[in-house]
Amino acid sequence: MFDRLSDKLNQVFKKLKGRGTLTEAQVTEALREVRLALLEADVNYKVTKQFIEQIRERAVGEEVLKSLTPAQQVIKIVHEELTMLLGGESPKLDLSGRPPVALMLVGLQGSGKTTTAAKLARRLKAQGRQPYLVPADVQRPAAIEQLKRLAADAGVGVYDTQPGQNPVAISDAAMEAAYAAGYDTVILDTAGRLHIDGPLMEELKAIRAKVEPREILLVADAMTGQDAVAVAQSFDDLLKLTGVILTKVEGDARGGAALSMRAVIGKPIKFLGVGEKLDALEVFHPDRLASRILGMGDVLTLIEKAQESFDVEQVKALERKFRQEAFTLEDFRQQLIQLRKMGPLEGLLDMIPGLGKIKALKGAKPDEKELRRVEAIILSMTPEERTNHQIINGSRRRRIAKGSGTTVEEVNRLLKNFAATQKMIKQFGKAGKRGRMPLPGMFG
């Protein structure tokens, strides 16, 4: 998300940094380019206009223009205003009250409500809660079975909705069932339509009145741009939303919906759906997203993903191997597995400060299939070969290539790259003995 906007903003800031001093005219010209970049990113016109005016008021003052680093001061102001535009602080789910607490997901058909319900349940389970999924969408064929299947994948409870039941009755009975079974959080997957209509809203209002949800969250497709903002406004007018979950943001290079949503409807974005997998749901952090848009990376989210994905004992064992210079191909394979748990590699690169600005990496999409081929090659080796790759001669390489469905050239390339990695590990091992160990897990 925001690839094009980020590129254009960085071009603007690069021009500013190239000047030792700044005049009011130069700042005005830069802000004109920022304004155009935001409009091209499908940001609401009124939101863009107000945003630019707020930056101008702060950026053309004597304190900024006569500072030692005026360009950096302007970028700092843009970052702060962008953070405020996105909502300022990271919003939290309201899970207070007598359990079970109800969370009601609403939205149009195709926005990803059912998958999002399961993602949210998985996240809450990881935080120690006992979520209970409720299929209250009897309109869409197979919606009930889809949520039941996803609940099984997420390892959470699900209400046994039967086709043809009344959604209000389903929701009421599910709350009773959750209470009896000891669940503390109920997530209602409600019906959607291709567009907002009277029968849909009456149904949703009736469910709201019956279960009194703590949160009413709109699930909106980010790829619909300003249409998503208009839909959010309509749902808020009729249901009084408490927040928004934007889905499919990994496919939206413009990002206008995310930048406009809070300013237009006054309700926070609470989560971002960043992929199809059940773990592809991120808490929305305005300051971190502002940093990513401005090419500053997002180290905090990267660290959190690593903490969630990497096994602590494995990391400790790997550190010992670094120190002992005993890193093997099997260790290398385990690192690939851990790295892939963190999500798409392309997204991880965007979180590392500076990488997004490197021309050689611009548009580069790490090949996930290539990682699987590497893993297949290592799995085709014997335990002895994985421990000591130097014994892998010509005949062994041919056997490994045949067993993994790859070529001898690919096997050779892996072994060559691994030898180079081992050499680097030895250098880190020596540094570690002097108390300067590298971050484990970065060699996947």
* Whole-number Å distance between alpha carbons of 262 and 82: 11
Closest to 236 in 3D by CA, of 277, 203, 267, 195: 267
Give the pLDDT confidence of 62-75 residue by residue, as tens digits: 777 777 677 888 88
- What is the SS3 assignment for 129? coil
* Whole-number Å distance between alpha carbons of 251 and 274: 8
**pLDDT exceeds cutoff 70 at 297:** no
* Whole-number Å distance between alpha carbons of 438 and 335: 15
**pLDDT exceeds cutoff 70 at 373:** yes
Structure tokens that stand for 357 in this block = 């600005």
Give the pLDDT confidence of 204-220 residue by residue, as tens digits: 999 999 999 999 999 99
* Whole-number Å distance between alpha carbons of 347 and 282: 12
Beta-bridge mates of residue 281: 273
CA distances from 167 to 200, 205, 252 (A): 11, 11, 33
Band of residue 296 on the pLDDT scale cut at 50, 70, 90: low
The DSSP annotation for 110-126 comes to TS-HHHHHHHHHHHHHH
CB-based contacts of 220, cutoff 8 Å, min separation 6: 107, 111, 228, 231, 232, 244, 245, 246, 247, 257, 261
Summarize the confidence of residues 324-352 as an average pLDDT: 67
- pLDDT averaged over every residue in the chain: 81
Question: Alpha carbon 326 to chain centroid distance?
Answer: 35
Contact between 414 and 372 under an 8 Å Cβ cutoff? The reply is no
Contact between 272 and 241 under an 8 Å Cβ cutoff? The reply is no
The H or E element containing residue 278 is: none
Burial 339-352 (b: 16+ CB within 10 A, else e): bbbbbbbebbbbbe
Q: How many CB atoms lie within 10 A of CB 276?
A: 11
Band of residue 261 on the pLDDT scale cut at 50, 70, 90: confident
Q: What is the pTM of this model?
A: 0.68
Give the pLDDT confidence of 72-122 residue by residue, as tens digits: 888 888 888 888 988 888 888 999 989 999 999 999 988 899 999 999 999
* Whole-number Å distance between alpha carbons of 298 and 286: 11
Contact between 108 and 118 under an 8 Å Cβ cutoff? The reply is no
* Terminal CA-CA length for the chain: 25
**pLDDT exceeds cutoff 90 at 26:** no
Summarize the confidence of residues 137-158 as an average pLDDT: 91
CA distances from 163 to 109, 159, 175, 201, 291 (A): 18, 12, 18, 20, 46
pLDDT of residue 360: 39
Contact between 205 and 239 under an 8 Å Cβ cutoff? The reply is yes
Identify the structural domains of the chain with CATH numbers, from first to last.
3-85 (1.20.120.140), 101-296 (3.40.50.300), 302-433 (1.10.260.30)
Give the pLDDT confidence of 377-418 residue by residue, as tens digits: 999 999 999 988 889 999 999 999 999 999 999 999 888 888
Contact between 244 and 267 under an 8 Å Cβ cutoff? The reply is yes
The more confident residue out of 42 and 326 is 42
- What is the SS3 assignment for 356? helix
Give the pLDDT confidence of 173-209 residue by residue, as tens digits: 999 999 999 999 999 999 888 888 888 889 999 999 9
